Structure 1
Amino acid sequence: MTNTASKFSVLLCAGVSAGVAQAESGFFEDASATLQLRNYYFSRDFSDIVGPNKQSKAEEWAQGFILNFKSGYTPGPVGFGLDAVGTLGIKLDSSPDRVNTGLLPVKEDGRAADDYSRLGVAGKMRLSRTELKVGELQPNLPVLVFSDIRLLPPSYQGASITSSEIAGLTLQGGHLNSTSLRNEAGDDKLQAMLGHLPQRQATSDAFNYAGADYAFNDNRTTLSAWYGQLEDIYGQRYFGLKHSEPVGAWVLGANIGYFDSREDGKHLIGDIDNQAFYSLLSARRGGHTVYVGYQAMFGDSAFPRVFANISPLGNEVPTYEFAFADERSWQVRYDYDFAALGMPGLTTTLRYISGDNVDTGQGFEGKDWERDLDIGYVVQGGALKGLGVRVRNVTARSNYRTDIDENRLILSYTIALF
């Protein structure tokens, strides 16, 4: 058996054994496990290199395996359970002059690792409608969005609590002390990004968060208030509104948010002053959905976030963020679901975003734009039922950062183990 196959066997057996052991005890009848296979090709051409990195292209191909095990709870007023996630990434194609796609770790010799793997476990406890988790976590919050946009998902280590004791109101809080990045197997200290720039000069010992989401109006309206703190680096407040409204044959939607971010504690990366507003309005009828978005940055700094995460900003996409200091940006987007034409499983997205007014600090106004085309299909029947195929093509241009031409091809398939 090869080293890679051996590693995957360990991950698979660990997850399945955990489920079997708990099932035999009679306490975990609701346990489930899935295995997702993800084949990912990523190519990013830097047609106009700007900055210290002179690499002209990042291109790699890799195979990923994501094993998720979730137990039920032991009976009684207080229930106990166990969640586990195992990941394995295998290099299919790479070279030293094409690394840093975010798919694979890069070794000290500048080459991508042949494989990397991780197994993380979280214990959980439930009392009434309140749940406490300790261990390996994958939170998805306005102040820490779950950025599963490469081969393997990132994770965090710490504790979280979620409570839904009041109808419509969800309260959450947590303390995270390390992270496993999307292309690494080990634990790392937490770092920050400003706009698209990693702030590698400092690390933080913890990310703390607390927030509330209140859904009402038959769950058509949600109000949110959150706070996130990357200790000694930045503190961030968030207020959000989401609403959908049926109007005849149409469904109108609004997603509006505001962030206020400041330096925290020891100011490890200096002063931070950013206020970010975004709005994304939508109109859907049949298979058609049209979006219009506006986003604006205020203050002296770019938008801060935990490295290397995305954010819920309305105009942020996986290539450009449109979140640099003082930037203003507009978006138009069109989605179509071909189920309306009798072709279920086929969807498309076409999006254009334009930004300007960027404070580059170099004596000129920064401008950028991006055009995205996404086509996705999920096989609806037969032997390949559930197989997903997604193609992404991007053109992004800027006068203050690197131009990008990008292509992605992602194949995914999920197997229910039990």
Structure 2
Amino acid sequence: MRFSPLFLGLVAAATLQTGHANNFIDDSNVTLTARNYFFDRDYKQGDSFPAARDWAQGFIFKANSGYTPGVIGFGLDLQAFAGFNLLGDSTDGYAASGLLPVGKDLKRTDQYGEVRWTAKAKIQDSTLHVGTLTPMFPVLFSSPARLFQQNYRGAHLQFNEIDNLKLHALYTDRVNQRDSTNFEKIRLGNTNSRFDQAAESSGLHMLGADYKVNDQINTQVYHADLHDVFQQNFLGVKTKHDVGIGNLLSDIRLFVSNDSGEALAGDIENQHLSGLIGLQRGNQTFSVGYMQSFGDTAMPTLAGTEPAVMLDCMSADFTNKDEKVYHVRYDYDFKDTPLNGLKFMTRYSKGVDIDLPQFGRDDFEQDAWDVDLSYRVPTGTLEGLGVRTRFTHYRNEMPATGMAFRSDNETRVNIDYTWKFK
């Protein structure tokens, strides 16, 4: 996995010269995405920084081949990224947002870039990918929440030979964080010093299955082990049933986590249950949800990503020890209207009974009100243009010093345009 892009290019060229690579080219696709991203997290508690603030322009190039003919088909995917700081030195005095690499002097890099590759093979409908991976699984989630998506280095085997069933086996030993160009060892996230330390691991392996019972019920079962740190099991069920007045939706997720091997981060023992029930009627969906964390510690997650619970708040993760979370949400999709392509979401979440042993209290509270408005041009000359604006009003009563999440008003705006080439 350390071959240079030049070497891989030569291999691809040699493959093309065999005269047996029609599918390799015919099934290929190339895209270029220009992403403009503004991030402003305005802190409302006493803090050494008034805000975390950045504005960046990114370019994401992806070239995915098809597969060569034969019993085993081979292919190659390439990705190239380039990011530029649009605020220059005006970000001095502000905390890093995760959009751009930051030096030891806390100054942003003016520009940065990287090239990543993934070799792939296919037998019947099953695939093997080796190289750069962007897994989107409950126990291994590549965060897409900044200018560039977090990615991992490893191998992923996906078995697709049984109808409605997908089996996954994955191993990774390094992670490339959202604001970095370097692969580093995978670490446990240690938000608010929840564990003894943010231990790093030699690698992570994952096994999982997605099974579609029928058009109304989908299930997931996953297991991951961050070697010598923690292991995590996941069970998820999503349903959708027509109840006459609309569709009744549900999303139930259970994570069970324990320390693993040498327990380099200390004791970990957590069970996290989350559930969402909603009614979808026409273009509207109204949902209510509840989450609760059980066990001796908070829910463990990997550094640099978000937990794959049913609530995805921008300014906090709501997965503290013993925390109970109440949640209401409203969505409106403007499909089949003159504003087709526009989507609106708002939600309110309240977390109570938060136990932070390092601060000597078990009754902290936090709450967040989120608004998300997005528009993607559905057809015409500007098809591929998307605009998304997000705002959150987040408050907690926890001490500001040493806390990863502090009371803030946060605004994110990103404008994407994707060109597709064939």
SS at match of 1:193: coil
SS at match of 1:107: coil
Question: Following TM superposition, by how much is the alpha carbon of 1:278 offset from its aligned partner in structure 2, in angstroms?
Answer: 0.5
Query: Per-residue displacement from partner, 1:48-85 (whole Å, max 9, x unpaired)?
Result: 14xxx622211110011111121111111111111111
Q: What is the match of residue 383 of structure 2?
A: 385
Q: What is the match of residue 8 of structure 1?
A: none
CA distance in 1, matches of 2:206, 2:105: 38
Q: What is the match of residue 45 of structure 1?
A: 42
Of 312, 319, 331, 2:315 maps to 319
Structure 2: gaps of 5 or more residues:
399-404
- 1:31 aligns to 2:28 (yes or no): yes
Question: Following TM superposition, by how much is the alpha carbon of 1:315 offset from its aligned partner in structure 2, in angstroms?
Answer: 2.2
CA distance in 2, matches of 1:19, 1:246: 49
Structure 1: gaps of 5 or more residues:
1-10
Contact 1:289 1:335 in 2 (8 A): yes
SS at match of 2:409: strand
Contact 2:229 2:261 in 1 (8 A): yes
Query: Per-residue displacement from partner, 1:297-323 (whole Å, max 9, x unpaired)?
Result: 001211111111112201232221110
Question: Following TM superposition, by how much is the alpha carbon of 1:86 offset from its aligned partner in structure 2, in angstroms?
Answer: 1.3
Q: What is the match of residue 411 of structure 1?
A: 415
Opposite residue 105 of structure 1, the aligned amino acid is: P
- Equivalenced residue count is 404
CA distance in 1, matches of 2:61, 2:327: 36
After TM superposition, the structure 1 stretch with the greater mean CA deviation from structure 2, 373-382 or 103-112, is 373-382
Contact 1:19 1:69 in 2 (8 A): no
Opposite residue 131 of structure 1, the aligned amino acid is: T
Give the TM-score normalised by the residue count of structure 1: 0.91
Question: Following TM superposition, by how much is the alpha carbon of 1:99 offset from its aligned partner in structure 2, in angstroms?
Answer: 3.7
Of 76, 79, 104, 1:82 maps to 76
Distance 1:141 1:125, change over 3 A: same
CA distance in 2, matches of 1:381, 1:14: 39
Distance 1:97 1:213, change over 3 A: same
Distance 1:108 1:417, change over 3 A: same
Contact 1:64 1:88 in 2 (8 A): yes
Query: Per-residue displacement from partner, 1:108-154 (whole Å, max 9, x unpaired)?
Result: 22200011111111111111222111111111111012310110111
- 1:93 aligns to 2:84 (yes or no): no
Contact 1:37 1:64 in 2 (8 A): yes
CA distance in 2, matches of 1:350, 1:22: 51
Q: What is the match of residue 401 of structure 2?
A: none
Distance 1:17 1:247, change over 3 A: farther
- 1:69 aligns to 2:63 (yes or no): yes
Q: What is the match of residue 3 of structure 1?
A: none
- 1:232 aligns to 2:228 (yes or no): yes
SS at match of 1:305: coil
Give the TM-score normalised by the residue count of structure 2: 0.90
Distance 1:295 1:90, change over 3 A: same
After TM superposition, the structure 1 stretch with the greater mean CA deviation from structure 2, 390-399 or 356-365, is 356-365
Contact 1:194 1:302 in 2 (8 A): no
CA distance in 2, matches of 1:73, 1:264: 39
Opposite residue 164 of structure 2, the aligned amino acid is: G
Of 112, 115, 120, 2:111 maps to 115
* Percent of aligned pairs sharing the same letter: 33
Contact 1:252 1:284 in 2 (8 A): yes
CA distance in 2, matches of 1:63, 1:394: 23
